[in-house]
Structure 1
Amino acid sequence: MESLLFDELLQEIFQRLPSSASSAVPLVCKRWLILHRNCRSSLSLRFPSASPSSLSVFSSFLSRYPRLSSLAVVLVPPDKSTPLFSISSDAAEGCEETHFSLLSEHLLLAVAFNCGHLRHLRFLAGPVSPSSLLSLSSSCEHLSSLSLSFVRPFSFHWLTFFPSLKDLSLVDCGSIGYDDTLQFDSDHHELPLESLCLSGIKAGDRGFRWLWRSCTKLRRLQLRSCEGTGDGASSSAFVRCLPRLQELELRTCRSIADGVLLRLAEHCGSLHSLLLYDGGSRDGLHHFMSQYRSTLRKLDLRLPLDLDNEHLSAVARNIRGLVSLRLQSCCLVTGEGLKTLSSAVNAELEELALINCDVVEREPGLLTTLGQSLRELRKLDLSYNEMLRDKELVSMLVSCKNLVDLNLRGCRGLTGATLLSMFKSCKLLETIDIKQCCRIEADNVEFFLLNSPRLRQVHVEESKISGVAKTWASQKFIKIID
């Protein structure tokens, strides 16, 4: 039978297999191994510091996957137990080396030589020079997403090499000096970038003026652990990227959050999504929420000691089209503020998250009131409210009949009674997370799996999945994630 299947048909079958089964395909025979490599479009590799001789092995390995469109290469600390390189489902978030490395240069050149079809590249194997990026741009003409480690001093003119680049992420990797023989035009260009993520900008960093002036098409901006926006506080170049901005994320940027929000209110009228974690001041945030009358649809805040009821009241007065509200560890918010906001956005709100917010446990009856006001909710996240009890949650779920996604991870006070209530009230539920809910037993999970017709994904410990539940989940294509 195997010999009767055309190569194209086998490749089509391989592409449709789940990841658990796909990993066994290359073990069947040499023909299947070659076909599997030829049809694979995505790889994630963890690469340890290695000798120059290992680079040829890396290049040879990449040459066996001629159709790669997505590749992640991450340098990891050397360890005796670490293989030369290993395929990984996820790449590390940070850069492990802060010195200019010939290894990273040669790795990038190997990628450029072997992966001409790349559209997405995540390369966190050390800093690289603009000259090596020129080689990459010549080989990968259709590259649209790029993630790199960067070093000081900053120079962004190499971005003109990538005419198709839409998504750029730069991770701070320290300071270094290098001589680059390439010469750049000092005039700014209109870059095609629509998404930009910068991490680790220091207060005294320079070289960003050209970047901000060239990002006139920016739709999404992420700043992480930044102390400035480059070229000093008096620089006016930053506002050039704001007019078309639709999404903004500020993570741990306390020293610049107020200034960025002030400029946003003045220069941007199209913002749809704002994420603000661990930064800003009460007054600056209140000014933004009071002044910004816009199309804001999503608000995600983790401000333990900065967010209070006055901010929620400002949102209720000025931002009526909110569809998603996510609050995390907001200690100063009370039930009164949440009720005021829910009354203002009751018809529109589709997602609510109160993560590790003690108001959920501090004020009995709050969830009941919110459930009665927010009947259109489709996503609810109450994770890590450890003292949340069945009675409070069940009284809310009775009103939330449109839920498709429910996250209860870390709610240690919940029992199987909650799952029984979900079975009765939440007929549309597709995804649920009940990991770290120690009082929910295996028989409760089995009952829920067998009686939830639309369920597609469950996050739960493997020890709570019985043999019957596993069989049922397999037959109904329900994904179990441990």
Structure 2
Amino acid sequence: MDSILCDELLQEIFHRLPPSSSAAVSLVSKRWLRLLRSSTVALSLTFISTPLALPSLSSFLSHHPYLSSLSLSDSSSSSFSSSSHHLLQSIASSCPNLRHLRFLAEPVSGFSLLSLSNSCPHLSSLTITLSRPLCFQWLAPLRALKDLSVFITGSETELFSYNGFASVLDAELNLESLSLCGSRGVDYGLNFLWRNCKKLEKLKLKSCECVGDNASFSAFIKGLETLKEVELRTSRTVADGVLLKLAEGSVSLSSLLVYDGGSKEGLLQFISHSRADVQKLDLRLPLDLDNDHLIAVAENFRTLSSLRLQSCCLVTGEGLKTIGRALSEELEELALINCDVVEREPGLLTTLGQNLKRLRKLDLSYNELLLDKELSAMLVSSSNLKELKLRGCNRLTNMAMVSMARRCKQLETVDIMYCCRIEMEAVELFLSNSSHLRQLQVEESKLSVVAKKLVSKNCIEIVA
């Protein structure tokens, strides 16, 4: 049988097998092993850095000539000197067709990345940990790179060992998505990045204290004009400045996320003065968000289709009802995650359900005191929901599942993880009456034999 099947047919069969079958396939024969390797396009490896292991890794990668996606992490507690440099050299020499690389081994320097950028010209996505002092000139040869994620590490004293790259010619980068984590003090190397990112559409800043020195900030401001999506996570010291400049200069912004940073005044200024048609707003600001912000959203963001609030304890029903009235024909997604206003004000969910005619996604996760009657009253007016998340709502019972089955016939995705009072019988009833369901997040212990048959018959994905 082995001799009858040609190489191309075997490789096509390998592509259709689940990943778990790879180990068994590789043991059949040397031919099958060779064909399996040559047909593999994605690998995720955990590597232990030792001087003897590096040649083995290089040899292993060389047997995968069509590898286009690689994720490499280092499980060793301590690695020998220059291990990351040698790892990158091995990847560069063995994987010329690489398009996606997630390199989570030891931090690397800009110099170490030169071999990668020169040898892998097709690279379009890169996640890397970069050590100080920062240098980004290695990005210039990567004309295909669209998505870059950088974790910055190293002693801040190393910032002052920076010897300057001002003499290096600028090279316009084609980056569309940039994520930075951990910028500190005066990371001068960011200047090159901001000057040359003129096509940036998505920016993520996490745990960032700055965006560089004064020259870097000036260049950074110019790059805000093309942004469509911005995420600011635990970056309090830069959040207000970024929001102010977004309000002044960005008319393309459609999505904003702010978690654990900024100030009441800075956020209010942005909402009140922004000229962009913001469609998605995701905020986790326990002490920096109140009704004034929601009223400003209702007045200025009239095209908003998604509003997500987490742990916003100063918001009241008045603010949310204003949103409901103003955006009744626009809002399609509403998330009130761990927001005690849901529990403080009976009838709020009913009013929101009646106002929000176009609501398709609802997330009420981790409202531990949410009652069946409050949820059921909202679902009466939300029969077109396609996604419902109730994770961690411990007071909900089987009656909530009955209401969902009766009222929400269009549901495709449901999350009821950690709802301890919802029992097996209710899950089975819900599955029996949900013909459009495609994904259910629930504990496996709550799936009866009948429920499992329904899952298999209707091709429902269970996420436990």
Match of 2:383 in 1: 401
Q: What secondary structure does 2:126 align onto? A: strand
Aligned to 1:130, what secondary structure does the other structure show? Answer: coil
Partners of 1:36 and 1:112 in 2: how far apart?
22
After superposition, the C-alpha distances for 1:179-213 in whole angstroms (9 at most, x for unaligned) are 99998852322211111111111133322222111
Name the counterpart of 2:25: 26
SS at match of 1:161: coil
Deviation at 1:276, TM superposition (A): 0.3
Matched letter for residue 368 of structure 1: T
- Please tell me whether the aligned partners of residues 25 and 33 of structure 1 are also in contact (alpha carbons under 8 angstroms): no
Unaligned runs of 5+ in 1: 79-96
State the alpha-carbon separation in 2 of the partners of residues 270 and 448 from structure 1. Answer: 42
Q: 1:94: which partner in 2?
A: none
Identity of aligned residues (%): 58
Deviates more, 1:52-61 or 1:285-294: 52-61
Mapped partners of 1:4, 1:387: distance in 2: 65
Does residue 148 of structure 2 align to residue 168 of structure 1? yes
Deviates more, 1:237-246 or 1:101-110: 101-110
Q: 1:309 aligns with which of 288, 291, 311?
A: 291
User: Contact conserved, 2:74 with 2:106, CA < 8 A, in 1?
Assistant: yes
- Return the match for 1:427 from 402, 406, 409: 409
2:39 maps to amino acid: C
Distance 1:234 1:217 in 2: 17
CA distance in 2, matches of 1:35, 1:226: 46
1:281-318: CA deviation from partner (whole Å, max 9, x where unpaired): 11111111100132111000000000000000001111
**What is the identity, as a one-letter code, of the residue corresponding to 1:121?**
L
Alignment of 1:93-172 (within 5 A): 101-172=81-152
TM-score by length of 1: 0.89
> How many angstroms apart in 1 are the aligned matches of 2:54 and 2:105?
13
Q: Could you tell me how far apart the structure 2 residues matched to 1:180 and 1:113 are?
A: 29
> Residue 307 of structure 2 corresponds to which residue in structure 1?
325
477 and 184 in structure 1: CA distance in 2 versus 1, 3 angstrom threshold? farther
2:461 maps to a residue whose letter is: K
| Aligned twin of 2:39 | 39
Pair 442,215 (structure 1): closer, same or farther in 2 beyond 3 Å: same
Displacement after TM superposition at 1:330 (Å): 0.4
Question: Which amino acid letter does the alignment assign opposite residue 39 of structure 1?
Answer: S
Q: Deviations over 1:146-184 (max 9, x none)?
A: 111111111111110211111111102213599999988
Q: What amino acid maps onto 1:294 in structure 2?
A: A
Residue 260 of structure 1 corresponds to: 242
Partner of 1:366: 348
Change (3 A) 1:291 1:177: closer
Inter-partner Cα distance in structure 2 for 1:243 and 1:194: 13
Return the match for 1:228 from 199, 210, 215. 210
Question: 1:67 offset after TM fit, Å?
Answer: 2.1
| Matched residue, 2:57 | 58
Return the offset for 1:450.
2.9
Structure 1 residue 272, shift from structure 2 partner: 0.5
Instruction: Evaluate the alpha carbon distance shift between residue 22 and residue 332 of structure 1 in structure 2; reply closer, same or farther with a 3 A threshold.
Output: farther
Mapped partners of 1:100, 1:321: distance in 2? 54
User: What do the CA deviations read for 1:234-262 (whole angstroms, capped 9, x no partner)?
Assistant: 94121121111111100001111111111
Q: Look up the equivalent residue of 1:118 and give its one-letter code.
A: L
Query: Which residue of the other structure, out of 319, 331, 341, is the alignment partner of 1:349?
Result: 331
1:480 aligns to 2:462 (yes or no): yes
The alpha carbon displacement at 1:40 in A equals 2.7
For 2:452, the equivalent position in structure 1 comes to 470
CA contact (8 A) 1:203 1:232 kept: no
Question: In structure 1, what residue type is equivalent to 2:72?
Answer: V
3-state SS of paired residue (2:286): coil
For 2:315 and 2:25, how far apart are their aligned partners in 1? 55
Q: Which amino acid in the other structure matches residue 118 of structure 2?
A: S
Letter in 2 for 1:425: R
CA RMSD of aligned residues (A): 2.5
**Distance of aligned partners of 1:405 and 1:286 in 2 relative to their CA distance in 1, 3 Å threshold:** same
Query: Retained in 2: the 8 A contact 1:25–1:36?
Result: no
| 167-176 or 33-42, larger mean C-alpha shift | 33-42
Q: CA distance change for structure 1 residues 170 and 380 in 2, over 3 Å: closer, same or farther? A: same
* Residues 325 and 353, structure 1, Cα contact 8 Å, conserved in 2: yes
Structure 1 pair 359–244 and aligned structure 2 pair: CA distance change class (3 A): same
Shift of 1:439: 0.7
Query: CA 1:382–1:101 in 2, change beyond 3 Å: closer, same or farther?
Result: farther
Q: Which amino acid aligns with 2:15?
A: Q
Aligned to 2:434: 452
CA distance in 2, matches of 1:438, 1:25: 40
Taking a change above 3 Å as real, the CA distance of residues 55 and 428 of structure 1, as seen in their structure-2 partners, is same
- Letter of the structure 2 residue corresponding to residue 446 of structure 1: E
Q: Distance in 2 between matches of 1:428 and 1:250?
A: 34
Following superposition, the deviation at residue 460 of structure 1 comes to: 1.1
Q: What's the counterpart of residue 273 of structure 2? A: 291
Asked if 2 retains the 8 angstrom alpha-carbon contact of 1:101 and 1:127, the reply is: no
Shift in CA distance, 2/411, structure 1 to aligned 2, threshold 3 Å: farther
- Cα deviation for residue 143 of structure 1 reads 0.4
List runs of 5+ in structure 2 lacking aligned partners.
Answer: none
Distance 1:69 1:262 in 2: 40
Give the match's secondary structure for 1:203: coil
> Which secondary structure does the structure 1 equivalent of 2:225 belong to?
coil
User: In the TM superposition, what are the counterparts of 1:428-443 in structure 2 within 5 Å?
Assistant: 428-443=410-425
- Counterparts of 2:338 and 2:348 in 1: how far apart (Å)? 15
Q: Distance in 1 between matches of 2:14 and 2:388?
A: 32
| SS, match of residue 226 in structure 2 | coil
| 1:8 aligned residue | 8
Question: In the TM superposition, what is the alpha-carbon distance from 1:9 to its structure 2 partner?
Answer: 3.9
Shift of 1:37: 3.2
Distance apart, 1:408 and its partner CA:
1.0
Deviation at 1:57, TM superposition (A): 2.0
Cα distance 1:13–1:352, how it changes in 2: closer, same or farther (>3 A)? farther
Cα deviation digits, residues 25-84 of structure 1 (max 9, x gap) = 536723554444333322222223x32101122223323333221111122343xxxxxx
* Matches of 1:148 and 1:268, distance apart in 2: 28
